[in-house]
Amino acid sequence: MELQIETNELLDRLPPHLQQYIKPQNYEQYTPVNQAVWRYVMRKNVDYLSKVAHESYVEGLRKTGISIDTIPSMYGMNRILKEIGWAAVAVDGFIPPNAFMEFQAYKVLVIASDIRQLENIEYTPAPDIIHEGAGHAPIIASPDYAEYLRRFGEIGAKAISSAHDIEMYEAVRELSILKEAEGISQALIDAAEARVLELQKKKVAPSEISLIRNLHWWTVEYGMVGTLANPKIYGAGLLSSIGESAWCMKDAVKKIPYSIEAAYRDFDITKPQPQLYVTPDFAYLQEVLEEFANTMAVRKGGWRGLKKLIESKQLGTIELSTGLQVSGQFTRMIQNEDNEVVYFETEGETALSYREKEVIGHGVSRHSNGFRSPLGKLKGINLAIENMGPRDLQAYNFYDGKPIAFEFESGITVEGLNVTGMRNLGGKLMLIQFTDCTVRYKDELLFSREMGDFDMAVGKEIVSAFAGAADYLSFDLAPHIRSTETIRKALSAKESALNSMYQKVREIRAGNPTLERTNKERDQLEEIANTLRLNHAEDWLLALEIYELTTSEAILQHLTNLKIQRPKVSHLIDDGLALIEKQVKFQTR
């Protein structure tokens, strides 16, 4: 049966290159054990986070339709998120950083639909529905924070990455998949961890995407708000981790006033964070974001911006002073003695745009073999080409259908037949077409007649450079081919039997939510408890759920024994027992 993707108006507006990442949630894949993991984490979090999280968290759970007892469905979340102007989609684990940011710009939460395994109940490096649904979703009920998230996505989507970033993304994705998959050998996990560590140790200049990813980590994922003496949690990584949400409040975790310096502090996703940043309020997050954006190539342009695009070896865009945008894979630039860009080249499919819309007739079909153009002012002429009106052009012999030869201040010469020009909405000349043309620089032939028509971009300088295409419809950006896919293992007979017991306990609780159990229910629960002790003696979570419904001394003794046998989960058992004690007191008032 083909699975359907629940949608709403926001999702319908997503461009194809983002829609390719959306997967059906496949709610049937969640096992009763998965549901129990969700319930334990949510009960623990709501009880604890109501004291230490930002005030919008608990209210946000209600507004976003997230249940404590049941893993949320995309349909239910989208129906309610629509009321606050957002949407949610399910994806398969990590997606590329720029795509993740762009989803945010469209006010869409990306939710990894898988859920952590029971053995990773406190924390997982892999994105999962607990992290995304219970961490990110509730906080967007705060309008100030929701706008920060949207604006962050808008700016982050333009950040230029490096080849090293792509390697790191693939390595982290593989590690997260292996750590959450069942039946994977430790040798494979160790090799994946070693690969991540090897890449982390490489001495590379930080790219824009790596710096803005740091800001994202220290705010959206691990941010705190308030004062250093009394901070509250709002970061999704903290809100979704029952271990770190408690750990982060300890004095051992250094609290630092949030500033742009956070962009230059790296993080390790496999370990608890030794320090965290505290913002005074959500409005201040926007101030720092704008401060960082002012350092990015999207606002500064110039040779540094173009250099970043060349080094990224990925699709990017430059915008000239005339507003003309050139999108493609940039491979070369020539600079003058003042480091100004006087010539650039792309290779492969290239498109020209103006105000994020492709210029008619200048898509990838015309520029399938790249694009190249000189920039700057003409030699001996004070008036920039872009500012020349029709009479100025005639004065300098720019006649349509007439041959012309001219030289730029850089020494680049152009000689050919002037065909026509194209102006922007402000009347500035932004493109001139030549035929039978040659372009030279010193002794090098940059363009020859045999290469066809020469379309010369007009502009004094590069005012902006950013990742991706100006008009996403210019390029076929789908499908994206991942090197790794989430591993899903079929349940063994023993695991299926255990899940059946979890399901039966779940049904008994749903059918009778009171503390009073019927004799039939007590008999059923006692039978399940006996089978659990006999065949699944190491399982602690189902034992807790049975104790919650029966307060049986025999089950309590079993849990006490488990704490001794499995000291690593003893604190989880204690926390569960404490929650049950609170519940009993509340219901017997």
Kindly report, residue by residue over 364-410, the tens digit of the pLDDT: 999 999 999 999 999 988 888 999 888 888 888 887 788 999 999 99
Q: For residue range 293-350, what is the model confidence (pLDDT) as tens digits?
A: 999 999 999 999 999 999 999 999 999 999 999 999 999 999 999 999 999 999 999 9
Roughly what angle, to the nearest 10 degrees, separates helices 570-587 and 32-52?
Answer: 70
Cβ atoms of 224 and 278 closer than 8 Å: yes
Residue 344 bridge partners (DSSP): 333, 373
Q: How long a stretch of residues is the chain?
A: 589
pLDDT of residue 102: 94
pLDDT digits (tens, 9 = 90+) for 103-161: 999 999 888 888 888 988 887 766 788 887 778 888 888 899 999 999 999 999 999 99
d(CA 512, CA 191): 48
Confidence of residue 171 (pLDDT cuts 50, 70, 90): confident
Query: Does 270 have pLDDT greater than 80?
Result: no
Tell me how far CA of residue 151 lies from CA of 141, 277, 524, in angstroms: 16, 20, 53
Assess whether pLDDT exceeds 60 at residue 586. Answer: no
Say yes or no to pLDDT of 504 above 80. Answer: yes
Planar angle of CA 193, 94, 14, nearest 5 degrees: 165
**Which candidate, 292, 250, 242, places its Cα nearest to that of 275?**
250
324 with 354: CB under 8 angstroms? yes
pLDDT of 486 above 60? no
Q: What is the per-residue pLDDT for 3?
A: 47
Q: Which residue has the tokens 């030869």?
A: 405
Is residue 484's pLDDT more than 70? no
Q: 21-64 pLDDT, tens per residue?
A: 888 888 888 999 999 999 999 898 888 888 899 988 888 887 77
Output the six-digit token pair for 165.
Answer: 């970033």
Q: What is the mean pLDDT of the chain?
A: 89
Q: Looking at per-residue confidence, does 358 or 515 come out higher? A: 358
Alpha helix (H) residue ranges in 512-552: 519-535, 541-550
User: 348, 334, 364, 333: which is closest to 470 by C-alpha?
Assistant: 364
DSSP conformation letters of 6-63: P--HHHHTS-HHHHTT-----GGG--HHHHHHHHHHHHHHHHHHHHHB-THHHHHHHH
For the chain, the distance separating the N- and C-terminal CA atoms, rounded to the nearest angstrom, is 49
- Which among 35, 34, 42 is positioned nearest to 61, based on CA atoms? 42
pLDDT category at 356 given cuts 50, 70, 90 is very high
Q: What's the pLDDT tens digit per position in 414-464? A: 999 988 889 999 999 999 999 999 999 999 999 999 999 999 999 999 999
Q: What is the distance between the alpha carbons of residues 106 and 547, in angstroms, rounded to a whole number? A: 45
Q: Tally Cβ neighbours within 10 Å of residue 533.
A: 16
- Give the range among 156-170, 300-314, 570-584 with minimum mean pLDDT: 156-170
